[in-house]
């Protein structure tokens, strides 16, 4: 590896260190209580070093937001091989749940914290066709296309596909966010019908699938 390649590798490693450290601090202290100075102190660099790569704190959280969507997109990409659209829709739901459970920090950044969307509003504006937010647009569009394919084979025919896709996503988000934050597990255990939140989530998802199967 030459000098140029080593410098580039060092640069990418440092950027990743900044992101990983910032993510941990955001999760522990919250966005508002985490400063560039605090991130710099954690990695034992000066704040000036961080500013070489990210212009401010909102730039860092949006980079993490993008990283999370890239990771989730990789998991969803395998589902393109599921031929039957309703089976693919179920697989998308299971993959979404798995991602939320295994990457709760990214899930928090992507779907619960408001700051990445504020970055989008301030820097990208309202752009059509997903130009300002391609990672979010592409993810939702894959769900929408699957819903439309389901309609072509007899499911959900009485529903506007975009609205139905929003309903499917918001239901899954509700179940996952309740699980990630511990509310679903607490409710399940306090009523003595499930041992933990994951078991309750899986049972709720199975019931939701049965409901979807009957939607005409």
Specify whether 50 is located in the same domain as 82.
no
Q: 54 near 63, Cβ under 8 Å?
A: yes
185 in a domain, yes or no?
A: yes
Specify whether 134 is located in the same domain as 177.
yes
DSSP result, 109-131 = HHHT-SHHHHHHHHHT-S-GGGS
43-78 b/e (C-beta count within 10 Å ≥ 16 → b): eebeeeebeeebeebbebbbbbbbbbbeebeeebee
Q: In sequence order, what are the residues at sequence separation of 6 or more whose Cβ sits closer than 8 angstroms to the Cβ of residue 211?
A: none
Instruction: Give the CATH number of the domain where residue 19 resides.
Output: 1.10.10.60
Residue-range definition of the domain harbouring residue 50: 1-54
Report residue 27 CA to chain centroid gap.
15
Instruction: Give the CATH number of the domain where residue 172 resides.
Output: 1.10.357.10
Specify whether 131 is located in the same domain as 38.
no
How many Cα atoms occupy the beta-carbon half-sphere of 148 within 13 Å? 7
47 in a domain, yes or no?
A: yes
Measured distance CA(118)–CA(158) in Å, rounded: 35
In the chain, how many H helices and how many E strands?
A: 11, 0
Specify whether 145 is located in the same domain as 169.
yes
- pLDDT tens for the 216 residues of the chain, in order: 677 777 788 899 999 999 999 999 999 999 999 999 999 999 999 999 999 999 999 999 999 999 999 999 999 988 989 999 999 999 999 999 999 999 999 999 999 999 988 888 888 765 555 556 787 788 899 999 999 999 999 999 989 999 999 999 999 999 999 999 999 988 888 888 877 889 999 999 999 999 999 987
């Amino acid at each position: 590896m030459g000098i140029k390649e080593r410098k580039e590798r060092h640069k990418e490693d440092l950027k990743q260190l900044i992101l990983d450290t910032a993510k941990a601090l955001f999760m522990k202290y919250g966005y508002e209580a985490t400063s560039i100075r605090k991130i710099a102190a954690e990695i034992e660099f000066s704040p000036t070093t961080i500013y070489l790569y990210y212009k401010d704190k909102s730039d860092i959280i949006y980079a993490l937001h993008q990283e999370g969507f890239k990771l989730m997109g990789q998991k969803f990409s395998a589902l393109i091989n599921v031929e039957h659209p309703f089976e693919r829709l179920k697989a998308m739901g299971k993959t979404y749940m798995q991602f939320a459970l295994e990457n709760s920090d990214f899930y928090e950044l992507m779907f619960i914290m408001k700051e990445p969307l504020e970055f989008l509003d301030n820097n990208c504006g309202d752009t059509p066709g997903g130009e300002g937010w391609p990672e979010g647009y592409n993810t939702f569009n894959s769900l929408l296309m699957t819903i439309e394919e389901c309609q072509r084979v007899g499911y959900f025919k009485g529903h506007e596909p975009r609205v139905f896709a929003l309903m499917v996503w918001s239901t899954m988000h509700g179940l996952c966010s309740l699980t990630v934050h511990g509310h679903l597990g607490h409710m399940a255990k306090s009523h003595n019908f499930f041992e933990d939140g994951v078991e309750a989530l899986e049972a709720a998802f199975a019931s939701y699938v049965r409901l979807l199967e009957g939607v005409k």
